[in-house]
Amino acid sequence: MAIDNLGETRLFEYGEMQINHLKKADKKLGEAIDRIGKIERVVTPDLFIALVHSVVNQQISLKAAATVFSRLQGKLGEISPNSVMAHTVEELRECGLSARKVGYIRGIAEKIINGELNLEELKNMSDEEVIKKLSSLDGIGRWTAEMLLIFSMERPDIVSWGDVGIRRGMCRLYGLKELTREQFDKYRARYSPYGSVASLYLWKIAHEG
């Protein structure tokens, strides 16, 4: 387990059961898994921190986002709905956030505080129910909700059509110039119920070479 400026973090867990299923289900993916080996990706169990981080990351470089997030943590101490609402818009903007992003973050915090959004209840919802709930928040779209399902909630079967890297990885893996939605759905069904692990490998494949 590692600790960084995202608070408590850990690695996305998977093992022989998931690997063996994927290797049996898809020969080409199996060959890639053997070549690449174990992939370590950090997850952030605190969903509010993950939501804030996803908003901070929007439309800026990873380096810039890390700087802004570090400043935000320095100002707030513990990143929580209450600590966000205890600071003014101007104070939050001093961290390098745009007015729009501050509005998104404060909006999410306010909904949690007033009971409109209960993050604990999401644990008992289906993937699609979580996506619907999170993407109803200002500043959170379907793709972001899917990434939160993997990298915060550790849901096992997420493969995002909206993710360019996933689609590129599939094209490279299967030697395709273009990927249709029908092809994508076929591969996604093949990976199930361990699509999230397949996604880790597809991202890696997309960035090889």
Give pLDDT, residue 3: 36
Count Cα neighbours of 105 within 13 Å in the Cβ-side half-sphere. Answer: 32
- Cβ-contact 19, 197 below 8 angstroms: yes
| pLDDT band at residue 5 under the 50/70/90 scheme | low
The full set of domains in the chain, from first to last, is 16-39+157-206 (1.10.1670.40), 47-151 (1.10.340.30)
Task: Indicate if the pLDDT at residue 191 is higher than 90.
Answer: yes
Instruction: Name the H helices within the chain.
Output: 16-25, 27-36, 47-57, 62-76, 81-85, 89-93, 99-113, 127-135, 142-151, 164-174, 181-191, 195-206
Q: What tens digit of pLDDT does each residue of 91-107 get?
A: 999 999 999 999 999 99
pTM for the whole thing?
A: 0.93
Give pLDDT, residue 7: 60
Task: Indicate if the pLDDT at residue 4 is higher than 80.
Answer: no
Task: Indicate if the pLDDT at residue 1 is higher than 60.
Answer: no
Average per-residue pLDDT for the chain: 95
Task: Indicate if the pLDDT at residue 209 is higher than 70.
Answer: no
End-to-end CA distance of the chain: 30
Task: Indicate if the pLDDT at residue 80 is higher than 80.
Answer: yes
Q: What tens digit of pLDDT does each residue of 142-182 get?
A: 999 999 999 999 999 999 999 999 999 999 999 999 999 99
Task: Indicate if the pLDDT at residue 69 is higher than 70.
Answer: yes
Give pLDDT, residue 9: 76
Q: What tens digit of pLDDT does each residue of 20-45 get?
A: 999 999 999 999 999 999 999 999 99
Measured CA distances, 113 to 44, 75, 88, 107, 140 (Å): 21, 20, 16, 10, 18
